[in-house]
């Protein structure tokens, strides 16, 4: 199962599969719009991410099918003597392969990407409505070291 995984940067042809993954859970089905054609906002967001050297939209494939997605943002800081940190967001693994080690391998690959970039820390958040995701990240060594807050803005 795990020997035939490919980890890579996403390309525009992956966009439909990515949005489908993002929409395929109880939170995503409310905030995403997976329809054909996709709303223009997804195309614009992909182009912005793809053109930013400090952002990486990544996918994992199994047998040439996208089964996972995440975004890594690399941010330079003045803290830690001008250190870099990575933020991982939008992690989704296809329900058909969940619980089989794909997410773990994908996160291990992502951690390696952050190390290669010279990051001193990786941060992420998970919604409190996803306790299984929290347990998953803790098994990978992530700790609840900070309180995270969000302010949703009206557009």
Q: Is residue 30 a part of any domain in this protein?
A: yes
The pLDDT of residue 1 is 56
Is residue 152 situated within a structural domain? no
The domain spanning residue 23 has which CATH number? 3.40.630.30
**Within-domain flag for 71:** yes
Say how far apart CA 23 and CA 44 lie, in whole Å: 18
State residue 85's pLDDT score.
97
* Encoded tokens for 150: 């969000």
User: Of all residues in the chain, what percent are helix, strand and coil, respectively (each to 5)?
Assistant: 35, 25, 35
Domain count, the chain: 1
Count of residues making up the chain: 155
pLDDT confidence of residue 55: 98
Parent domain of 118: 5-139
Q: What's this model's pTM, rounded to 2 decimal places?
A: 0.92
pLDDT for 91 = 97
Q: Are 91 and 109 in contact (CB under 8 A)?
A: no
State residue 26's pLDDT score.
86
153 found inside a domain: no
β-strands 65-76, 55-62: how paired? antiparallel
In a domain, 85, yes or no: yes
Assess if residue 115 is contained within a domain: yes
Q: What is the pLDDT along the chain (155 residues), one digit of tens a residue?
A: 577 999 999 999 999 999 999 999 888 989 999 999 999 999 999 999 999 999 999 999 999 999 999 999 999 999 989 999 999 999 999 999 999 999 999 999 999 999 999 999 999 999 898 899 999 999 999 999 988 888 989 87
Domain-embedded: residue 155: no
Task: Enumerate the H helices of 7-154 as residue ranges.
Answer: 15-23, 28-31, 40-51, 79-82, 102-117, 131-139
The sheet that has 65-76: what strands, in order across it? 5-9, 55-62, 65-76, 84-93, 119-124
* 144 inside domain: no
């Amino acid at each position: 199962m795990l020997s035939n995984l490919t980890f890579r940067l996403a390309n525009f042809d992956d966009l439909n599969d990515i949005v489908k993954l993002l929409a395929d859970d109880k939170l995503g089905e409310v905030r995403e719009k997976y329809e054909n054609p996709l709303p223009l906002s997804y195309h614009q967001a992909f182009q912005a991410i793809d053109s930013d050297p400090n952002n990486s939209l990544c996918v994992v494939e199994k047998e040439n099918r996208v089964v996972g997605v995440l975004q890594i943002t690399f941010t330079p800081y003045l803290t830690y003597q001008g250190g870099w940190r990575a933020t991982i967001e939008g992690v989704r693994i296809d329900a058909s392969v969940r619980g089989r080690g794909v997410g773990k391998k994908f996160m291990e690959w992502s951690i390696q990407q952050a190390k290669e970039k010279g990051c001193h820390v990786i941060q992420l958040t998970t919604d409190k409505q996803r306790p299984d995701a929290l347990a998953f990240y803790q098994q990978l060594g992530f700790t609840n070291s900070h309180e995270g807050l969000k302010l949703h803005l009206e557009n």
